[in-house]
Chain A
Amino acid sequence: MDFISTHLLTSILFFPILAALAILFFPTEQIKLIRWTALIASLVPFVLSLLLWGRFDASAAGFQFSEQYPWYDAIHSSFHVGVDGLSLTMVMLTTLLTPLAILASFGVTDRVKAYMILFLLLETGMLGVFMAVDLLIFFVFWEVGLVPMYFLINQWGSANRNYASLKFMIYTMGGSLGLLLAIQMLGVLFQTYDLVTIYTRWNALEASANLLPWFGSYLTVETVKTIAFWAFVIAFAIKVPVWPFHTWLPDAHTEAPTAGSMLLAGVLLKLGAYGFLRLVLPLYPAQSAQYAGWLAFLAVMAIIFGALGAYGQNDFKRLVAYSSVNHMGFVLLGVAAAAKVAGTADATIALNGAVFQMFNHGLSAAGMFFLVGVIYERAHTRDLNQLGGLFPIVPVYGAILLFTSMASLGLPGLSGFVSEFLVVRGAWASMPIFAALAMIGLLMTGAYILKGIKKVLHGPLNEHWAHGEHQLTDISAREVIVMAPLMALILILGIWPAWLLDVINKAMSMLF
């Protein structure tokens, strides 16, 4: 126990890998054993992160539970992890969603061993990004997470998976290229990758000092910072994804297996947003403020086009996928608003909203994708025009879908409402036009969600599903167990968000 309490973060981070290694040696035929081991193994980090939550001191500044080990001395990078309020929230989200995703994939029968191992590896990859306090480590985990996801889509996805997985990989790697280069540049400049040091030293540079050689003269710090700013922004924007870099997302989501989509939407998209908060805003406050308008524009475009795109879909999963674009637009809007008026109360509100929205979207998107998966598993189609009027046949499923959709739509009383309200409220003063446009987007959100519900649950019943061999069965107990924690949290956070917002708020006000 003593070891765990002193190495809490690394325990959370590496337990899934250890479990994956153990599973590697299980016999391939023991599907049940593998499933349960994976599930239990993924619950351990969750329990540990509850412990983490309990011990976390919200009022203290800086990173807590820091651990630092030598890693790559030759280029002055160390294995440095730590959490603050922002990362803690994300760690909680990850450790919560992973067991649910694993539980959700109990239906997978093809190469279960490899599947479970990849999931556990994916968890470590995601957690590592949230915990890293060293730029190089951040990047390592950032990329490492791609690999399991690529294979999950590529191997367990649906028909068009090859195209989608390659697109996913190439987009994200392409995006992270700029990130990689910018990180290298920072490393070369400062001879360290430690975030805490870089925060202070990077911002202490004279804006007009000469930095990189450029054909006989030098680039000024300002130019370099601007370039690096955009390198970071593009990398994270692709991951979020922000319009116009979002086209990989519907493809990847549509083709990914259900649990893959859950984590993709639930956690992986948050990596991009987290990058904005962890790196872009603290490292480039001036550039962020300068280009906040652009960011807000992109965010609003994401909100509106995401919603329009979602409305235009006839594939249920694509619809939900576009809804992610729409929802993540709010996160970026919050970031942009905060960047514009950094340091003010409005900024803190907007940031609170953004982070809270990240968490909420994690819950609702994961839930939505799972529910799409549930119906797909039974009907083997996601075509909205072939479904319809299913409420009487699958009443429990219908109720859950309705509830989750409402959360996604931002119904007051459920969590989504609180975060979206906070974002718009924070943005209102500084960028009223964008805030107003975002509100219109919110309206359209309602439209596509209702369209989805209507096409699936209401309207004329497609008789095909009512009788005979195609008769749909209602949601199973296991599937309800997957949904239960999500719905509970959605409800609790909708009614009493303070317990989480408090932590976020303190972190935000200390960070910026």
Chain B
Amino acid sequence: MQFPILSVIVFTPLVTSLLILLMKPERKTEVRVAALAAASFALLLSIWVFISYDKTAAGYQFLEKYSWLPALGISYHVGVDGMSAPLVLLTGVVMFTGVLISWGIDDRPREFFAFLFLLAGGVFGVFVSLDLFMLFFFYEIAVFPMYLLIVIWGWVKTREYAAMKLTLYLFLGSVMALVGALAMYWVNYQNTGILTFDMLQLEKAGFSGQFQYIWFMPVFMGFAILGGIFPFHNWSPDGHVAAPTAVSMFHAGVLMKLGAFAALRVGVMLLPEGAKQWAWLIFILAMVNVVYGAFIAMIQTDLKYVIGFSSVSHMGLVMLGIATLTPEGLTGAGLQMFSHGVMTALFFASVGMIYDRAHTRMIPELGGMVKALPFVAIAFTVGGLVGMGMPGFSGFVAEFPIFMGVWKTQWLAAVIASISIIVTAAYILIAVRKVFFGKMPAKFEGHMTPISALDKVALFTLVLLMTGLGMFPNLLAPMISLGVQNVLRLLGGA
């Protein structure tokens, strides 16, 4: 039997989470080491999956299938394609770096890492699941630890409000999608006589046009809420701001991708006709995300809000790419998910490091950090360049195909959306300059301890990924194209 690598990836964090809970709460260092070991292990495995994915064979690979509840056609069915393999890798990376920069958490680290790993396990599970039930199962597992992580270790001022808002939004979205999924399940049963949640089967269900027209929006929007789609994006910046650093990294870096990914996997791939009929609406909403998010980000003074709204804007690009239903747009969306994941992880890691020292994130109060924290300054700047879509960095590589897809669909939209590029450039440059350059306020003198070696490893990993992908898009793009072909096959034509 082939080594069940995907299951091992999914269960490594889950089992670690349990094991950590069984450790003694006082032995904080052991807890951390265990967390780091597990995270490294998961990262290595996800790299392995990424590398050994057979690009010539394409399709779903590393398949494993065990029946879970045969009576209702629920199975534990995992596999990755070109779309999800990079996201598994992304999760591995964010998990690894997230553990590294959370080393300093001193308040109940045992619970912190346990919840964080539960979250990570859920995320892995969603990305690899090929069974609709299993997808929801892990989706919810990924959502609720967020609440605890934010509420317990978050920013005192807004954590309670933000955590609750986030959880309710996401829960609302997921149950909305759940109803749609159940409808698919039963209609497939009527059509084919097979009770199954298996998505590969449901792809062939032959849902009627009317059915798809009715159910596409609940399903797609339900998941897209987690992707931060307008007008349901409001939870996201609040959540980012309130969350502790590693959780913000996870939240923006991976969780929002979860929404977009599931919207694609379940919404578009299972209801392709519905997607075609509603694409225009998704397209418009995503456009609003892109442009509006950028403008709102520009007027923020809290650094984390700036990044939070920039995420809204950037995730809008992902949605936009998906809504084009073109090869370029979808490829770009896949790349943008990866690129944005790494980028925001980096942003939040940097902001966390600054906040830990300065105890403020208000841009006007900061300044001159480059002297004290040169490494953070460089990393943040690189992240900023990625965010601006500067060529040579991963953001460009991702946004470019999305815009090509938009050109194909409605070229005027490309022109409008491009406004966001300028706005983004402006707010990022201003933020970088005000925070890192200029004169450091005297009150910070002596508080700016250098960042630890672990922090540096984390930042370096993220920077390396962004520049590497920016210079060599072929590292990732061909793989995503394979996944995109799979989507296009279902959409018919192209």
A contact residues vs B (CB 8 Å cutoff): 70-75, 136, 139-144, 146-147, 150, 154-155, 162, 166, 169-170, 173-174, 177, 180-181, 184-185, 187-188, 212-213
Contacts and interface: CB of A to CB of B under 8 A. Distances in A.
B391 A72 contact: no
B422 A173 contact: yes
Contacts of B364: none
A177 to B, nearest CB: 5
A144 B390 contact: yes
Contacts, number: 90
A185 B412 CA distance: 11
Given A70-B474, A154-B437, A162-B433, A170 B425 contact: yes
B206 interface: no
A188 B397 contact: no
A181 B184 CA distance: 40
B211 interface: no
B477 A74 contact: yes
Contact of B411 (A70, A141, A185): A185
A174 B422 contact: yes
B474 A72 contact: yes
B425 A136 contact: no
Contact of B415 (A74, A173, A174, A181): A181
30 contacts: A71-B472, A72-B397, A72-B474, A73-B474, A74-B401, A74-B478, A75-B328, A136-B400, A139-B391, A140-B396, A143-B391, A143-B396, A144-B391, A147-B392, A150-B429, A155-B437, A162-B433, A169-B425, A170-B425, A170-B426, A173-B422, A177-B418, A180-B418, A181-B418, A184-B407, A184-B414, A185-B411, A188-B408, A213-B410, A213-B411
Nearest to B328: A75
Nearest to B397: A72
Contacts of A212: 411
B404 A72 contact: no
A189 B19 CA distance: 56
Contact of B414 (A146, A166, A181): A181
B407 A177 contact: no
A71 B474 contact: yes
A71 B414 CA distance: 24
Contacts of B390: 143-144, 146-147
Most chain B beta-carbon contacts within 10 A, residue among A73, A74, A141, A142:
A74
A189 B101 CA distance: 46
A72 B418 CA distance: 22
Contacts of A154: 433, 437
A293 to B, nearest CB: 27
Nearest to B470: A140
B391 A141 contact: yes
B289 interface: no
Contacts of B414: 181, 184
B46 interface: no
Given A181-B403, A185-B407, A212-B411, A74 B331 contact: yes
B410 to A, nearest CB: 8
Nearest to A187: B404
B480 interface: yes
Contacts of A188: 328, 404, 407-408
Contacts of B464: none
Interface of B: 328, 331, 385, 388, 390-392, 396-397, 400-401, 403-404, 407-408, 410-411, 414-415, 418, 421-422, 425-426, 429-430, 433, 437, 472-474, 477-478, 480-481
A188 B403 CA distance: 10
Given A140-B391, A144-B391, A173-B425, A73 B437 contact: no
Contacts of A147: 385, 390, 392
Contact of A144 (B392, B407, B472, B477): B392
A75 B328 CA distance: 7
Contact of B403 (A143, A144, A184): A184
B477 A73 contact: yes
Contacts of B404: 75, 184, 187-188
Nearest to A183: B400
Contact of A166 (B397, B400, B429, B480): B429
A140 B473 CA distance: 12
SS class, residues of chain A in contact with chain B = helix
Most chain B beta-carbon contacts within 10 A, residue among A154, A174, A180, A187:
A180
A45 B425 CA distance: 32
A75 B404 CA distance: 9
Given A73-B474, A142-B391, 7 more contacts: A73-B477, A74-B478, A75-B400, A140-B391, A173-B422, A185-B407, A212-B411
A72 B328 CA distance: 12
Most chain A beta-carbon contacts within 10 A, residue among B392, B415, B481:
B392
Nearest to A121: B392
Most chain A beta-carbon contacts within 10 A, residue among B388, B391, B429:
B391
A75 B430 contact: no
Contacts of A144: 390-392
Nearest to A219: B411
Contacts of B328: 74-75, 188
A73 B481 CA distance: 9
B391 A74 contact: no
Contacts of B433: 154, 162, 166
Contacts of A72: 397, 473-474, 477
Contacts of A141: 391
A146 to B, nearest CB: 8
A136 B477 CA distance: 15
A438 B472 CA distance: 47
Nearest to A72: B473
A74 B421 contact: no
Contact of B473 (A74, A139, A169, A173): A74
Most chain B beta-carbon contacts within 10 A, residue among A75, A154, A155:
A75
Nearest to B381: A151
A142 B388 CA distance: 15
Nearest to B426: A170
B48 to A, nearest CB: 23
B421 to A, nearest CB: 6
A45 B71 CA distance: 71
Nearest to B334: A74
A144 B385 CA distance: 10
Contact of B400 (A70, A142, A177, A184): A184
A166 B430 CA distance: 8
Closest 3 CB pairs of A and B: A140-B391, A74-B477, A72-B473
A78 B320 CA distance: 25
B422 A170 contact: yes
A170 B477 CA distance: 29
B379 to A, nearest CB: 14
Contacts of B421: 173, 177, 180
Most chain A beta-carbon contacts within 10 A, residue among B397, B403, B407, B411:
B411
Contacts of B396: 140, 143
Nearest to A124: B392
B401 A75 contact: yes
B172 to A, nearest CB: 36
A213 B407 CA distance: 10
Nearest to B326: A188
A139 B390 CA distance: 10
Contacts of A73: 474, 477-478, 481
A166 B437 CA distance: 14
A140 B399 CA distance: 13
A144 B426 CA distance: 16
A72 B399 CA distance: 13
Contacts of A142: 391
A337 to B, nearest CB: 32
Contacts of B400: 75, 136, 184
B437 A74 contact: no
A161 to B, nearest CB: 10
A279 B392 CA distance: 21
A36 B3 CA distance: 54
Contacts of B473: 71-72, 74
A147 B432 CA distance: 13
Contacts of B385: 147
